[in-house]
Amino acid sequence: MRLLSLLLVVALLVGCDSGGDGKPAPEPAPPRAITQAELGEHLSALQEIANGSDGTRAAGTPGDRASVDYVAKRLREAGWTVRLQLVRFPYFNLRRASMSIAGRSLREARDFQVLSYSGAGRTNGRLRRLNTGCEADEYSGLAAGDVALVSRGVCFFREKAFLAQRAGASALVVIDDSPTRRGVPSGTLAAPGIRIPVVLASDTLARDGAPVRVDVDATSGRRATHNVIAETPGGVGDRVVMAGGHLDSVRGGPGINDNGSGAATLIEAAEAIGPKPPGARVRLAFWGAEELGLLGSRHYVRSLDRDERRRISAYVNFDMVGSPNAVPEFYADGDAELGRVLRRAAGRPLGTVEAGGSSDHAPFATAGVPVSGLYTGAEEPGPGGRPRDACYHLACDTVERVNRPVLLRMARAAAETLSRLSARHK
């Protein structure tokens, strides 16, 4: 009965595809089984890499390069052709930071975070409460030495920082008001150019008129990371089925769910499919510098000419697929047919998420490639009303917190999806 069910599913997916003799196209062999132990091996390896690199695998750090080397080695051992694509980016190096409000010292990471590409400097002033900080006229009442205090959201951190700087604020404090966090998350201004200190802080003491001291010692410059691009040596025709997920973490943590879970999924999918897919070639990408603005995937898509882009029949993204309090979902705003393939491969019902431009599928969608992906959650409410991943972008995003049964389900669905898509796109 199991074989009959599998044949019926494949028949539905293949539809009217047939060979030149009018016979149905052959059914792809199921991928090799994936186990929790194998996935856990990759998660543990990435955790050990972060432990040896000041707790991070952020782009441009030793932990980043070691992660690239680990992934490339595993893919080569699986018989895939691997190349590294250089990605240059502006970097941010925070040497030291301190902050106090109303005479009380705040703890870095727990109570405040310096946003990447913040300006350096020291200021003693008073907090001046504005609204979102997204409109220039909000800053009109600032006095010399005031520190602008704004809420999170509506516009990008960089827009708020630019407006505060132009208005003469000595620093900018953005309130992080989530009551469920175990600390303040990392964040970024996306690029150098802001001259004043910019921090994200808990709203516990952040009140209008309170005296505040901010001291940031930091520098910016340019560094390099790599995309790891792996492809099956075998394959039929000139079409390519592609999947990917980012390899880097945020500066403030090891990034094991975000996105070591995606990296482990892709490695195991590669080993399950092997170097000879059932149809079209399969290409996997482990993206660099996603946390800095999808830099790796944007660079890759820009590097392709029109014909190379047209060869990519589908791109499937895996970003955060082992959340502790998971709700497995696929991209509702992605390609409808890819969504159907993911649902069938998952075996059990999947929810839906509007992914928008939040991850590495976005450059492919802009280029006209059909996209979709799997996701199990970050800050959104999950079962019991608790966050799906309370350690999103925090130092506690560690190997112990990954939901292994959910990750196993997502990894098996990934391998099955790629195998089926390969068989269809010859």
Catalytic residue ranges: 290
Question: How far apart are the C-alpha atoms of 9 and 363, rounded to whole Å?
Answer: 31
Question: How far apart are the C-alpha atoms of 344 and 405, rounded to whole Å?
Answer: 18
Which parts of 17-156 are beta strand (E)?
81-101, 104-106, 112-114, 121-129, 147-151
CA distances from residue 372 to 31, 79, 317, 343 in whole angstroms, order as listed: 20, 26, 6, 11
Rg (CA), the chain: 23
Residue 277 carries which side chain, given as an amino acid letter? P
Quick count: other Cβ atoms within 10 Å of Cβ 79? 15
Question: How far apart are the C-alpha atoms of 218 and 300, rounded to whole Å?
Answer: 30
Among residues 243, 238, 163, the alpha carbon closest in space to that of 421 is found at 243
- The full length of the chain comes to 426
Question: How far apart are the C-alpha atoms of 43 and 399, rounded to whole Å?
Answer: 6
Token readout for 204 is 């516990």
Quick count: other Cβ atoms within 10 Å of Cβ 146? 21
Question: How far apart are the C-alpha atoms of 344 and 158, rounded to whole Å?
Answer: 41
In contact, 253 and 393? CB cutoff 8 Å = yes
In contact, 322 and 388? CB cutoff 8 Å = no
Q: Which H or E element spans position 216? A: strand 211-231
In contact, 174 and 160? CB cutoff 8 Å = yes
Token readout for 273 is 């499919």
Contacts of 306 (CB under 8 A, 6+ apart): none
Please provide the distance, in angstroms rounded to a whole number, between the alpha carbons at the two ends of the chain. Answer: 29
Among residues 359, 256, 254, 274, the alpha carbon closest in space to that of 317 is found at 359
Q: Is 140 helix (H, G, I), strand (E, B) or coil?
A: coil
